[in-house]
Every structure is written in C-alpha cells, then in structure tokens.
C-alpha cells in the first residue's frame, strides 16, 4: 500500500471523514503527486520540499482557482505530511509556512429597512391563518434574529408576551432570552386566536401547518423566499438573510457589538464582527456621496 493510500485509509477508518471529504482529499493529493512527477520526474515523499509546494501554489493561482480552493489543497498536503511525520516517514512538513492567497470574506446580504417595513406594514398578508402565520414567521425572524432551527422549535411556552421576549434554545443547547418588538404582540394574539379556533393541533409548538403539524425547513424557506421576493431583487432570499438584516440594522442604529453577539447566540465575538464590515461599507458609501472630494 502506498503512502497516499495509507493516508486515505486513515481518513476513512480512523478520522471517519465523510465520503465527500475523503474524495476531495484524494483528488487534491493526486493532483499534487502528478505535479511533482511532472516537475522532477518522480514522486518521493522524502524528497518533497517547500519549493515544490510553493511552485504548485503558483501553478494553481495561474489556473485562476479561487483562493479558498488553493487554501484547501495546501491544507490537504499539510495534513498528508503531518500523517507521514506521525509515522516517522519524514522529519518535517514542507507545506508548513507556505504563503497562501488571502480569502476575501463575503459580506452578509441584508435587506434595507424601508423594504421590510413596506412588506410588514402595507397589506401584503391576508387576514387568514396562512397569511397571519407567514407574517409572524417574517416578523420573528427579522424582529429577533433567531436561526431557522430555533424558530421551528419555538413553543407557545417560550413566548413571554408580558415582557416582549422569547426563550430560545440555540446551538449546543445554550438557552438565551431575546426581546422582540412590541408590535409583534398584536400579531401573536391574532395568530393564537385564528390557530386555536380553526386548526386542529396538539398544544406545544408555536408555528404549525394548516394540518396542525410542526412547521418544517422547506416551508419556512418557501414563505421567506416568496414574500421577500415582493419587495427586494436580492438574489438570496433566505431565513439567514433576515438574521443578517437584523444584526446589520441593529449595528447601524448604534447597538453595541457585544450585545448583538449575545442576541444572536454567537459563542465568540469573531462571528459577530463580520457585521462591522457591512457597516463600514455603508459609511464609506455615505462618505463618497457627501464629501466634496469623496
């Protein structure tokens, strides 16, 4: 068995990686082996040096691969030689300290305030069960910034209409209390009235289908996409876009970043800081429009 085959076997049986991940590692490794063979006439793990790895990165960049793809391929080679070092096959890792292209962070998509106010305030939803429920879905996602899974798992008992807040069970079963806009109370009472009168359901989950079952991911995606499509041309229209919108609007209005972190249920501040980039983009646009020499 070759060193490459041993490495793939290790990923499969000891690390228990998924077939998709294993296939990606195998393809990256095969490409590197082929490159080394073409470059020096053979592939010998004990003779691979950092120069060969750097040259491979240059070739990958010349092929116009994305920075993310190049980084992943080098990560594969780094993991391969780490495996060989562990087995005392080689003494050093030639993929360590290789300069890599910087991955540009994608700024989160968000919807402007006027568009969402137009959707929620100007009669887009019918006053029946489906219309009221769908409006509540949009209102809760935008008004609290909760995740899709958190919304689906909300129960009647999690709603505190006196204190305008919901109890959310987030990732790693971490519980948090999130306030919601007072205007949502009227919508909640309207929804409770129609649901409890017209829908046969087992008391428990807040949001249910017309057959009284707990809502599910595809239904939420469908509700969000179809309704956001009425007020925005944004390509991506998902529950997560409303979460991004919630955080961005709070930050643009002066909310503290640490407070937003707690509201979103992020485990560390780094995950929240991406919204500062969005705000800076907005400030930069305002500057260019307003400053005489902008």
**Residue 66: per-residue pLDDT:** 87
E-assigned strands of the chain?
159-160, 165-169, 175-179
Q: pLDDT at residue 62 above 80?
A: yes
Higher-scoring residue by pLDDT: 217, 102: 217
DSSP codes of every residue in 135-152:
HHHHHHHHHH---HHHHH
User: For the range 60-63, what are the long-range contacts, defined as Cβ-Cβ under 8 Å and sequence gap of 24 or more?
Assistant: 61/101
What is the arrangement of strands in the sheet containing 159-160, beginning at the earlier edge strand?
A: 159-160, 165-169, 175-179
Confidence of residue 262 (pLDDT cuts 50, 70, 90): very high
- Mean pLDDT for the stretch of residues 68-73: 91
Arithmetic mean of pLDDT, 263-288: 73
Q: Measured in Å, how far apart are the chain's first and last C-alpha atoms?
A: 64
Active site residues: 147, 171, 240, 243, 266, 275
Band the pLDDT of 278: cuts 50, 70, 90: low
Identify the CA nearest to 82 among candidates 71, 72, 94, 69: 94
Distance CA 265, CA 167 (A): 12
Contact 139, 184 (CB under 8 A): yes
Give the C-alpha separation, 138 to 148, whole Å. 11
- Is residue 153 scored above 70 in pLDDT? yes
Give the confidence band of 109 by pLDDT, cuts at 50, 70, 90.
confident
Task: Give the pLDDT mean for 129-158.
Answer: 97
Q: What is the pLDDT of residue 294?
A: 45
Q: What is the DSSP letter of 166?
A: E
Burial track 209-225 (b if 16+ CB lie within 10 A, e otherwise): eeeeebbeeebbeebbe
Domains of the chain and CATH, by start: 3-86 (1.10.150.130), 113-290 (1.10.443.10)
């Amino acid at each position: 068995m070759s060193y490459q085959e041993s490495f793939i076997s290790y990923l499969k049986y000891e690390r228990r990686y998924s077939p998709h991940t294993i296939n990606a590692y195998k393809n990256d490794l095969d490409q590197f082996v082929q490159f080394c063979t073409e470059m020096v006439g053979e592939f010998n793990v004990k003779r691979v040096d950092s120069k060969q790895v750097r040259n491979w990165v240059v070739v990958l960049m010349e092929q116009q691969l994305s920075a993310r793809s190049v980084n992943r391929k080098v990560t594969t080679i780094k993991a391969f030689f780490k495996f060989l070092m562990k087995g005392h096959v080689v003494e050093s890792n030639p993929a360590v300290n290789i300069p890599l292209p910087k991955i540009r962070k994608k700024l989160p998509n968000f919807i402007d305030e006027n568009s969402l106010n137009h959707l929620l305030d100007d009669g887009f939803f019918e006053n029946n069960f489906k219309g009221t429920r769908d409006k509540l879905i949009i209102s809760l996602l935008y008004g609290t910034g909760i995740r899709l899974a958190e919304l689906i798992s909300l129960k009647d008992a999690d709603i505190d209409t006196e204190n305008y807040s919901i109890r959310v069970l987030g990732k790693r079963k971490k519980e948090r209390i999130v306030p919601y806009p007072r205007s949502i109370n009227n919508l909640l009472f309207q929804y409770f009235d129609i649901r409890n009168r017209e829908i046969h359901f087992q008391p428990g989950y807040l949001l249910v289908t017309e057959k009284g079952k707990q809502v599910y991911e595809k239904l939420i995606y469908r509700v969000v996409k179809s309704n956001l499509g009425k007020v925005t041309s944004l390509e991506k229209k998902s529950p997560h876009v409303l979460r991004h919108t919630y955080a961005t609007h709070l930050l643009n209005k002066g909310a503290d970043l640490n407070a937003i972190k707690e509201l979103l249920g992020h485990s560390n501040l780094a995950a929240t800081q991406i919204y500062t980039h969005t705000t800076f983009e907005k400030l930069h646009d305002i500057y260019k429009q307003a400053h005489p020499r902008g």
